[in-house]
């Protein structure tokens, strides 16, 4: 693919991006109308002038964004972007790249939305590290799918079984995640004989989140996710009950 | 003269204060090591290093240690980018892209040790030049900035966003401006700073306080990097390091004029709001190629070419801190992350900043560059080994670091949702060649722009002439308009015609 092809693809993408931007800026311009612009009382301040309004800067920003979006649309149409915009080839659709990015995206979504709030941080991060490394080292599409399924199933289970915040300390999802992590680690180890790098994955997957969460909780004394998690609760208990008295007393 | 002496005395006190504290060295060594590692691993950047450490150290330890960690990582990462550039022909960071042009041919010719040694020395001298400039000019500018009022601040914030959008765009300039406007729009969420009017909160109480800086930084810089970097790349063959790394004094003396010139260029580029180390490296390389007697050898293994970019990108650090400390406008993307660290520590960079903080920043930069220099000369072989680590091992750990860093800054789980959302937007923007730095700078400067623009209107009863009746504001308004007009096709055609005539 030469440079002119790249530019054509970019202009086709710009065509869709500009339409998206026009829609978004129009929506927010409409939403800005919720903010009083002329003469109302605002936060106890009576203002009858436009320059008192909290809407004035957002109006300029979204107005500017709308204007620039139209300019981008014009540029893309003039450069032939609109003609190519409807064909997959025109927008540079790459199936393998879309597969790669979407599986990673799904894993991150399952991790952040499903696992981190509900499941022990060491367990869910260990699963994520194992899955991401196994899935994308070597560029095997099948492995990426297996890794994605493992994280997404764990995330979906946690999300569906314990949707309410009151239940986030429950242990069922911790055990389920642990089981998936162990299973995935076994799969990784079967491949480790031929791929040396994979031998280190279980070690990294255990140590990295363990060190991070302990440093954050006990060295910097910060809040960490899922304090009531299966492993962290034990660590916290033994830190305060068994270890700390050793130097405190 | 008195002024310079008093500055040096203040710097000396801050330096000694830090140097006698053993914890300083712990943070320095760890952060510079981490920074060089981040720089050396292709796919991890200086901005990412500073961003992640902002989440990790930002408000959890005293400000001094937090600054040591962040500045150490910043200095280390910019320098660390030279390792893969020289030994793999892959720039570790965007700032080292120009370094690969001459570094790799030198290593291929068996002069890798010499190249690495001189690069380390030049990076050290470059950082020191930037730091000295920071020490001297920041005070002069602080005096001037005391006379800056709301109209100037609003126009300056706008100029920072526009300039960053203009210079950071890979594709169309308009995309940089759109990215800046998206950042500004994001900063409008929450209670407005003057009347506490809720804007775009959609009834979600978390949004009342607006978008938090750290999750936005993490989302914008880390998530796209992780998604993009997780692909199988055959690890390039690291060239064997031949020759001694320790440079001899004669070659340093020989290249001192080049190092000095590049240091000044790097500092100058860094001082421009929103323009980063990559631009500094290329500008210095371009100037070097034009003025150097061996300009024709640039790109074929010229030590001078190598030093041009490597000195400038490190000198840029001091320069980038000038607008940050004086005006509260970050001079580069990693400086934007530093701004986030200042903000979560309740330090407001700008004319009202505590002068002690500036002196400590300067002292930390000197200590960090010294640490980098010693580590570069004596532990280079450790970092060369790091080049063999595949990204697929490192990036998942970065994701976990990002998550816990973002979570612990304060907003809890909502901050993670915000990080993920911003990350998704930034990933698609990357895909469509929209620069991310203007977006982040827009988010950071948005509230300053909003507050000062509206305050100007309040005080002038809506009279727009306040933006051109004051001399400073008039100059800035002309700069803003000039910057926009200069990008119009008509203006570009006129420029190129003029250029043709002058030749």
| Closest in A31, A54, A101 to B227, CB measured | A101
Summarize the confidence of residues B183-200 as an average pLDDT.
91
List, for residues A111-147, the tens digit of each pLDDT value.
Answer: 999 999 999 999 999 999 999 999 998 888 899 999 9
pLDDT of residue B111: 86
pLDDT tens profile B427-445: 999 999 999 989 988 998 8
Question: Residue A1 pLDDT more than 70?
Answer: no
Residue B98: predicted pLDDT:
81
Percentage of residues in chain B having pLDDT higher than 70 = 96
Secondary structure of B287-321 in HEC code, one letter for each residue? HHHHHCCCHHHCCCCCHHHHHHHHHHHHHHHHHHH
**Angle at Cα A176 formed by Cα A173 and Cα A178, nearest 5°?**
110
CB neighbour class for B120 (10 Å; exposed up to 12, middle 13-18, buried from 19): buried
Tell me whether residues A68 and B457 touch, CB distance under 8 A.
Answer: no
**Position with higher pLDDT, B162 vs B233:** B162
Across the A/B interface, how many CB contacts are shorter than 8 Å? 167
Taking only the tens place, the pLDDT of each residue in B290-327 is: 888 888 888 888 889 999 999 999 999 999 998 888 87
Give the model's confidence band at B185: pLDDT under 50 very low, under 70 low, under 90 confident, else very high. Answer: very high
Cβ distance A216 to B408 less than 8 Å, yes or no, reads yes
B99 has a pLDDT exceeding 70: yes
Please, are residues B313 and B45 in contact by the beta-carbon 8 Å criterion?
no
Chain A stretch 122-141, residues whose beta carbon is closer than 8 A to a beta carbon of chain B? 125, 128-129, 132-133, 136-139
Q: Please check whether residue B162 is in contact with residue B273, taking contact to mean a CB–CB distance below 8 angstroms.
A: no
Closest CA to A105 of A168, A148, A70: A148
Distance CA A81, CA B75 (A): 42
**Residue B233 confidence (pLDDT):** 64
- Asked if A45 is an interface residue toward chain B (Cβ–Cβ < 8 A), one would say yes
pLDDT of residue B1: 66
- The predicted model gives B224-244 an average pLDDT of 76
**pLDDT number for residue B236:** 62
From chain B, the residues in CB contact with A55 under 8 A are 199
What confidence category does residue B91 fall into, taking pLDDT thresholds of 50, 70 and 90?
confident
Enter the tokens of residue B8: 């040096």
Output the 3-class SS for A159-182: HHHCCCHHHCCCCHHHHHHHHHHH
Minimal Cβ distance to B400: which of A45, A104, A125: A125
Q: Which pLDDT value is given to residue A152?
A: 97
SS in 3 state form for B87-101? HCCCCCCHHHHHHHH
What was the pLDDT predicted at B235?
Answer: 60
> pLDDT confidence of B146, banded at 50, 70, 90?
confident
Contact A68 B174 (CB under 8 A): yes
The mean pLDDT of A71-82, rounded to a whole number, is 90
Chain B hits for A197, Cβ within 8 Å: 390, 392-393
Write down the mean pLDDT value for chain B.
87
Q: Do B195 and A139 touch (CB under 8 A)?
A: no
Find the closest chain A residue to B200 by CA distance.
A31
Tokens of B18: 């830090």
Distance from CA of A157 to the nearest CA of B (A): 18
Q: How far apart are CA B428 and CA B439, in angstroms?
A: 13
Could you tell me what percent of chain A has a pLDDT over 70? 94
Q: Which of B76-80, B178-182, B234-238 has the highest mean pLDDT?
A: B178-182
> CB distance B231–A13 less than 8 Å?
no
pLDDT at B223: 92
CA–CA distance, B293 with B450 (Å, rounded to integer): 50
Evaluate whether A177 touches A123 at the Cβ level (below 8 Å): yes
- Mark yes or no for CB contact B399/A132 under 8 Å: yes
Which residue, among A96, A132, A162, A217, would best test binding to B if mutated, counting the most B CBs under 10 Å from its CB? A132
Residue A80 forms contact with B (CB below 8 Å): no
Using alpha carbons, select from B95, B103, B102, B111 the residue that is nearest to residue B38.
Answer: B95
Q: CA of B392: which chain A residue's CA is closest?
A: A133
Q: In A, residues 136-175, which contact B (CB 8 Å cutoff)?
A: 136-139
Read off the pLDDT of residues B324-344 as tens digits, 9 standing for 90 and up: 888 788 888 888 888 888 888
- CB of A109 within 8 Å of any CB in chain B? yes
Option in A56, A61, A100 nearest B181 (CB):
A61
pLDDT of residue A41: 58
Q: What is the pLDDT at residue B454?
A: 92
Position B100 pLDDT exceeds 90: no
Could you tell me the pLDDT band of residue B187, with boundaries at 50, 70 and 90?
very high
Please give, rounded to a whole number of angstroms, the shortest distance from the CA of B234 to a CA of chain A.
8
% of residues, chain B, pLDDT over 90: 36
Residue B137 has pLDDT above 90, yes or no: no
B394 band by pLDDT with thresholds 50, 70 and 90: confident
Beta bridge partners of residue B199, listed in sequence order: B190
Say if the Cβ atoms of A105 and B454 lie within 8 Å: no
CA-based nearest residue to A205, from A225, A185, A235? A185
- Average pLDDT estimate for B149-176: 89
Residue A88 has pLDDT above 90, yes or no: no
Task: Establish if A65 touches chain B: CB-CB under 8 angstroms.
Answer: yes
The answer to whether the CB of B91 falls within 8 A of the CB of B85 is yes
What's the pLDDT score for residue A110?
97
For residues B48 and B60, give the distance between their C-alpha atoms in angstroms, rounded to a whole number.
19
Contacts of A64 in chain B (CB under 8 A): 181
Contact A51 B461 (CB under 8 A): yes
Position A2 pLDDT exceeds 70: no
Which pLDDT does position A46 carry in this prediction?
A: 57
A35 vs A25, residue with greater confidence: A25
pLDDT at residue A95 tops 80: yes
Burial per residue of B249-266, b for 16 or more beta-carbon CB atoms within 10 angstroms, e otherwise: eeebeebeebbebbbbbb
Q: Which of B180, B195, B196, B489 to mutate to test the interface with A (most CBs of A within 10 A)?
A: B195
Residues of B in contact with A137 (CB under 8 A): 232, 390, 392-393
For the stretch A177-194, pLDDT in tens is 999 999 999 999 999 888
**pLDDT greater than 60 at residue B384:** yes
State both tokens at B124.
Answer: 């050290």
Helix, strand, or coil here: B334?
Answer: helix
Q: Tell me how close the Cα of A223 comes to any Cα of chain B, in angstroms.
A: 6
A223/B407 touch (CB, cutoff 8 Å), yes or no: yes
What pLDDT does B199 receive?
Answer: 93
Which of A65, A109, A128 shows the shortest C-beta gap to B396? A128
Residue B442 near residue B183, CB atoms below 8 Å: yes
Q: Pick the residue from chain A with its C-alpha nearest to B410.
A: A223
Token duo for residue A19: 């339409």
pLDDT score, position A103: 95
Mean pLDDT of B473-496: 88
pLDDT of residue B109: 85
Rg (CA), chain A: 26
pLDDT of the residue at B391: 81
Q: Classify the C-alpha dihedral B90-B95-B97-B99 as positive or negative.
A: negative
Testing the interface with A: which of B204, B397, B430, B461 to mutate, by most A Cβ within 10 A? Answer: B397
- Chain A residue at shortest CA distance from B194: A54
For B92-106, B216-230, B231-245, B280-294, which range has the lowest pLDDT when averaged over its residues?
B231-245
Q: How far is the C-alpha of B121 from the C-alpha of B376, rounded, in Å?
A: 9
Displacement of CA B8 from its chain's centroid (Å): 26
- Give the nearest partner residue to B393 out of A51, A61, A204, using CB atoms: A204
- Could you give the angle at the alpha carbon of B176 between the alpha carbons of B71 and A70, nearest 5°? 160
Nearest chain B CA: its distance from A199 CA (Å): 11
pLDDT score recorded for residue B388: 79
Sign for the CA dihedral angle at B105, B110, B111, B112 comes to: positive
Query: Nearest-CA residue of chain B relative to A201?
Result: B393
Average pLDDT, chain A: 89
Q: Which residues of A touch B227 (CB under 8 A)?
A: 101, 104-105, 108
Above 70 in pLDDT, residue B247? yes
Flag if B458 and A52 touch (Cβ within 8 Å). Answer: yes
| Confidence band of B498 (pLDDT split at 50, 70, 90) | confident
Which of A56, A129, A221 is nearest residue B400 as measured by Cβ atoms?
Answer: A129
What is d(CA A68, CA B464) in angstroms, rounded to the nearest whole number? 23
3-state secondary structure B228-267: HHCCCCCCCCCCCCCCCCCCCHHHHHHHHHHHHHHHHHHH
ipTM of the complex: 0.92
Q: Report which secondary-structure segment, H or E, holds B51.
A: helix B46-57
Using CA atoms, how far apart are residues B307 and B101, in angstroms rounded to an integer?
11
Query: pLDDT tens digit string along B42-71?
Result: 777 888 888 888 877 767 788 889 999 999
B190 SS3 class: strand
Question: Span B22-30, mean pLDDT?
Answer: 93
Q: Strands, DSSP E only, in chain A?
A: 41-42, 45-46
State the DSSP H helix or E strand holding residue B44, giving kind and residue range, or none if neither. none
């Amino acid at each position: 693919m030469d440079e002119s092809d790249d530019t054509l693809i970019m202009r086709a993408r710009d065509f869709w991006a500009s339409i998206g931007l026009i829609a978004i800026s129009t929506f927010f311009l409409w939403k800005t109308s919720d903010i009083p612009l002329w003469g109302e009382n605002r936060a106890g301040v009576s203002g009858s002038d436009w320059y008192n309004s909290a809407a004035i800067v957002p109006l300029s920003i979204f107005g500017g964004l709308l204007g620039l979006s139209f300019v981008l649309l014009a540029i893309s149409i003039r450069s032939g972007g609109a003609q190519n915009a409807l064909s997959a080839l025109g927008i540079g659709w790459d199936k393998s790249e879309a597969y790669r990015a979407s599986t990673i995206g799904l894993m991150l979504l399952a991790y952040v939305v499903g696992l981190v709030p509900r499941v022990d941080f060491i367990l869910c991060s260990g699963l994520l590290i194992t899955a991401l490394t196994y899935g994308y080292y070597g560029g095997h599409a099948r492995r990426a799918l297996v890794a994605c399924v493992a994280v997404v199933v764990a995330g979906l289970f946690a999300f569906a079984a314990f949707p309410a915040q009151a239940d986030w300390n429950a242990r069922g999802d911790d055990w389920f995640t642990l089981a998936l992590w162990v299973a995935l680690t076994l799969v990784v180890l079967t491949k480790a004989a031929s791929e040396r790098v994979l031998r280190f994955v279980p070690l990294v997957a255990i140590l990295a989140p363990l060190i991070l969460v302990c440093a954050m909780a006990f060295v910097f004394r910060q809040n960490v996710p899922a304090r009531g998690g299966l492993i962290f609760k034990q660590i916290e208990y033994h830190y305060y009950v068994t270890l700390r008295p050793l130097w405190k007393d | 003269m008195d002024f310079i002496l008093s500055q040096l005395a203040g710097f000396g006190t801050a330096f000694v204060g830090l140097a006698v504290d053993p914890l300083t060295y712990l943070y320095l060594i760890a952060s510079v090591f981490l920074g060089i590692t981040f720089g050396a691993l292709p796919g991890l950047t200086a901005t990412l290093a500073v961003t992640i450490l902002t989440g990790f150290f930002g408000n959890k330890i005293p400000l001094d240690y937090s600054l040591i960690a962040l500045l150490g990582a910043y200095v280390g990462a910019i320098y660390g980018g030279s390792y893969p550039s020289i030994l793999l022909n892959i720039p570790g960071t965007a700032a080292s892209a120009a370094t690969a042009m001459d570094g790799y041919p030198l290593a291929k010719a068996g002069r890798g040790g010499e190249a690495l040694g001189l690069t380390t020395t030049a990076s050290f001298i470059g950082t020191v030049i930037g730091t000295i400039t920071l020490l001297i000019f920041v005070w002069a500018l602080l005096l001037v900035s005391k006379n800056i009022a709301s109209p100037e601040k609003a126009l300056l914030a706008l100029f920072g966003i526009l300039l960053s959008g203009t210079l950071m765009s890979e594709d169309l300039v308009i995309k940089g401006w759109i990215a800046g406007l998206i950042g500004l729009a994001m900063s409008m969420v929450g209670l407005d700073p003057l009347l506490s009017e809720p804007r775009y909160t959609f009834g979600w109480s978390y949004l009342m306080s607006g978008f938090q800086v750290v999750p936005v930084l993490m989302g914008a810089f880390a998530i796209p990097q992780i998604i993009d970097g997780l692909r199988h790349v055959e690890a390039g063959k690291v060239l064997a390091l031949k020759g001694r790394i320790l440079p001899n004094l004669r070659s340093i003396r020989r290249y001192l004029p080049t190092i000095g010139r590049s240091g000044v260029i790097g500092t100058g580029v860094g001082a421009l709001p929103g323009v980063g180390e990559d631009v500094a490296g290329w500008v210095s390389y371009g100037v070097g190629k034009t003025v150097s007697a061996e300009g024709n050898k640039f790109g074929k293994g010229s030590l001078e070419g190598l030093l041009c970019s490597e000195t400038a990108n490190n000198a840029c650090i001091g320069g980038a801190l000038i607008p940050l400390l004086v005006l509260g406008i970050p001079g580069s993307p990693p400086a934007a992350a530093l701004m986030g660290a200042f903000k979560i520590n309740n330090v407001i960079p700008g004319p009202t900043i505590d002068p002690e903080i500036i002196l400590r920043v300067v002292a930390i930069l000197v200590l960090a560059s010294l640490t980098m220099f010693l580590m570069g000369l004596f532990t280079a072989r450790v970092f060369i080994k790091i080049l063999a680590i595949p990204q697929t091992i490192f990036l998942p750990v970065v994701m976990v670091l990002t998550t816990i860093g973002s979570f612990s800054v304060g907003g809890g789980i909502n901050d993670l949702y915000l990080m993920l959302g911003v990350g998704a937007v930034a990933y698609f923007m990357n895909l469509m060649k929209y620069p991310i730095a203007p977006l982040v700078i827009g988010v950071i400067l948005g509230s300053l722009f909003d507050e000062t623009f509206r305050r100007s209107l309040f005080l002038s009863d809506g009279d727009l002439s306040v933006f051109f009746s004051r001399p400073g504001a008039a100059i800035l308004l002309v700069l803003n308009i000039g910057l926009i007009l200069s990008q119009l096709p008509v203006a570009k055609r006129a420029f190129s015609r003029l250029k043709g005539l002058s030749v």
